């Protein structure tokens, strides 16, 4: 058994007085490029992180859902499956309860669930999707449900949208379920087609440095929902169902009608249209086998678009990107929904320490605590450990 599986199984046995029926793991994600495109029917290119959330699970026979987390030791939950309603329980337990609620007709007896994990929470690295996907996979296996990978993605996404109340797209859950080691997942969120694009950074002498700004966010509370509504309004004014259908930025001119509102919608839509184009260019570069350093400037351009047109960055992430590029990163950008969270920087392996030091020094100048950072390796999607 892996260390992670043993730790979860032992903790389960200690808390519940019996062994779990299995342990499942699902990763957080790092989106290489393609931010705020998923709910617009566009393109995304995530990798799975080596960091995972583990769920040790066993069925009960009294109809209760009993939840424990090693990361939230003072925040247990114990509720009847039949009483689960949107938003209750809340907090970390809500992501588990949301998945169980979606399948409540199949879980009459209830469940014991012990959660453990190392995906940083609130860091824009999709800890919530990792939890949802680990539990969804566990329930599929334990209940013998006929659910394919796409069904698991939808199930986990519904838990997040309908139960937790965060109006996200399918990027995070797709990455957690579908990513493979050594590759980035090119996903067309409109027709759900996928391609595993080889992404061997090591062979190119490169590393993806992730810097957690420490500014936490919450998509159920932040401006995420506002951005989504603005995109829908822009699409409706342009007479399309999804901004993905807009062919180029010239076709957005109709939005700029001289009103402040039109100007904002124009910028929001411009981000989405240019970001889709950037994803395609990055994928082309990686497919062609050219030096992956060539994607760097596209990453930095993507950041500027998120900062200026989409307005979801925060000053500390802007400072982080600037410092990383000044210190020699080939490109850098904030990742995830924004309003806090992490940035990534594409750096030569032998420049990781210098870029990390430069970013840390910049955080100090900005009066912020030293950020946590790590190198991300494209890793495996959700799986059963034991
Ligand atoms: C968050 C959401 F959950 C995703 O669906 C996606 O929209 C992302 O922000 C921005 O690209 O992670």
Q: Could you confirm whether 172 is annotated as catalytic?
A: yes
What's the rounded Cα separation, in Å, for the pair 138 and 330?
A: 40
ipTM exceeding cut-off 0.90 for this assembly? yes
Give the atom of ligand 1 at the shortest distance from the alpha carbon of 38: 7
Give the binding-site residues of ligand 1, using a 6 Å CB cut-off: 35-36, 38-39, 126, 168-169, 171-172, 219, 336-337
Which ligand 1 atom sits closest to the C-alpha of 35? Answer: 11
Query: Which residue CA neighbors atom 8 of ligand 1 most closely?
Result: 337
Closest ligand 1 atom to residue 128 Cα is 3
Determine the pLDDT at residue 219.
Answer: 65
Q: Tell me how far apart the alpha carbons of residues 295 and 286 are, in angstroms, rounded to a whole number.
A: 8
Measure the CA–CA gap between 76 and 57, rounded to whole angstroms: 15
Ligand 1 centroid–CA 269 distance in Å is 16
192 to each of 58, 103, 211, 276, 315, how far by Cα in Å?
A: 32, 23, 30, 15, 34
3-state helix, strand, coil split of the chain in percent (to 5) is: 45, 20, 30
Whether 220 has a pLDDT exceeding 70, the answer reads no
**Hey, is 242 helix, strand or coil?**
coil
CA distance 164 to 221: 11
Tell which CATH classification among 3.40.1350.10, 3.40.50.1370, 3.30.230.10, 2.160.10.10 matches the domain 3-195+380-384. Answer: 3.30.230.10
Name the helix (H) or strand (E) containing 7.
helix 3-16
Give the pLDDT confidence of 307-326 residue by residue, as tens digits: 999 999 999 999 999 999 99
Please give the distance, rounded to the nearest whole angstrom, from the Cα atom of residue 28 to the centre of ligand 1. 12
Hey, which of 28, 31, 37, 38 would you mutate to test ligand 1's pocket, going by the most ligand atoms within 8 Å of its Cβ? 38
| Rounded distance from Cα 224 to ligand 1 centre (Å) | 8
Beta-carbon contacts of residue 293 (< 8 Å; ≥ 6 apart): 204, 206, 330, 346
| Residue identifier of the C-alpha nearest atom 2 of ligand 1 | 168
> Residue 318, Cβ neighbours under 10 Å: how many?
18
Locate the ligand 1 atom nearest the alpha carbon of residue 160 and give its number. 3
How many angstroms does the Cα of residue 74 sit away from the middle of ligand 1? 29
The pick from 132, 224, 278, 337 for probing ligand 1's pocket by mutation, whose C-beta has the most ligand atoms within 8 angstroms, reads 337
> 92-147, pLDDT tens digit by residue?
999 999 999 999 899 889 999 999 999 999 899 999 999 999 999 999 999 999 99
Among residues 112, 172, 276, 309, the one annotated as catalytic is 172
CA nearest 21: which of 155, 108, 139? 139
Distance 380 CA to ligand 1 centre (A): 20
Q: pLDDT over 90 for what percent of the chain?
A: 96
89 prior amide bond cis, ω within 30? yes
pLDDT of residue 263: 98
Residue 365 pLDDT exceeds 90:
yes
What CATH homologous superfamily does 198-376 map to?
Answer: GHMP kinase, C-terminal domain (3.30.70.890)
Report which secondary-structure segment, H or E, holds 10. helix 3-16
State in Å: Cα 59 to ligand 1 middle: 32
Distance in angstroms (rounded) separating the CA atoms of residues 343 and 371: 11
Distances, alpha carbon 31 to alpha carbons 198, 208, 274, in Å: 15, 11, 16
DSSP tag of 108: T
- How is the chain split into domains, by residue range? 3-195+380-384, 198-376
Q: Are 118 and 51 in contact (CB under 8 A)?
A: yes
Using one digit for the tens of pLDDT, what is the confidence trace for 29-54?
A: 999 999 999 999 999 999 999 999 99
Question: What DSSP designation does 88 have?
Answer: B
Give residue-wise pLDDT tens across range 256-289.
Answer: 999 999 999 999 999 999 999 999 999 999 999 9
Q: What's the pLDDT score for residue 41? A: 98
**Alpha helix ranges (H) inside 17-126:** 92-102
| Segment 60-84, tens digit of pLDDT | 999 999 999 999 999 999 999 999 9
Total number of residues shown for the chain: 386
What is the model's pLDDT at position 216? 85
Question: At residue 18, does pLDDT exceed 80?
Answer: yes
Q: Which of 189, 359, 212, 199 is nearest to 295 (CA)?
A: 199
Q: In this prediction, what percent of the chain has a pLDDT beyond 70?
A: 99
pTM of the model: 0.97
């Amino acid at each position: 058994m892996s260390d992670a599986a043993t730790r979860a199984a032992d903790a389960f046995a200690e808390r519940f007085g019996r062994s779990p029926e299995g342990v499942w793991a699902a990763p957080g994600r790092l989106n290489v490029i393609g931010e705020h495109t998923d709910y617009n029917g566009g393109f995304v290119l995530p990798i799975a992180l080596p960091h995972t959330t583990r769920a040790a699970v066993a069925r009960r026979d009294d109809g209760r859902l009993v939840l424990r987390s090693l990361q939230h030791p003072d925040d247990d939950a114990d509720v009847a499956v039949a009483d689960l309603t949107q938003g209750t329980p809340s907090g970390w337990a809500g992501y588990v309860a949301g998945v169980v609620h979606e399948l409540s007709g199949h879980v009459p007896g209830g469940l014991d669930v012990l959660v453990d994990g190392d995906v940083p929470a609130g860091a824009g690295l999709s800890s919530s999707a990792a939890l949802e996907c680990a539990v969804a996979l566990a329930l599929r296996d334990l209940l013998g449900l006929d659910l394919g990978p796409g069904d698991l993605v939808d199930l986990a996404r519904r838990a997040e949208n309908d139960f937790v109340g965060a109006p996200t797209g399918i990027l995070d859950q797709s990455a957690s379920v579908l990513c493979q080691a050594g590759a980035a997942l090119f996903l067309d969120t409109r027709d759900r087609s996928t391609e595993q694009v080889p992404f061997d950074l090591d062979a190119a002498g490169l590393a993806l440095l992730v810097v957690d700004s420490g500014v936490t966010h919450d998509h159920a509370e932040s401006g995420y929902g506002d951005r989504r509504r603005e995109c829908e309004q822009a699409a409706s004014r342009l007479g399309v169902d999804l901004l993905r259908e807009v062919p180029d930025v010239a076709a957005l001119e109709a939005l700029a009608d001289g009103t402040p509102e039109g100007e904002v919608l124009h910028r929001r839509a411009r981000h989405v249209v240019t970001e889709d184009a950037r994803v395609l260019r990055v994928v082309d570069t990686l497919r062609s086998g050219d030096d992956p350093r060539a994607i760097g400037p596209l990453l930095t351009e993507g950041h500027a678009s998120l900062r200026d047109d989409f307005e979801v960055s925060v000053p500390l992430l802007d400072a982080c990107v600037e410092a990383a590029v000044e210190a020699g990163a080939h490109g850098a950008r904030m990742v995830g929904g924004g309003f806090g969270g992490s940035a990534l920087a594409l750096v030569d392996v032998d420049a990781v320490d210098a870029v990390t030091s430069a970013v840390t020094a910049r955080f100090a100048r900005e009066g912020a605590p030293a950020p946590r950072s790590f190198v991300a390796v494209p890793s495996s999607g959700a799986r059963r450990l034991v």
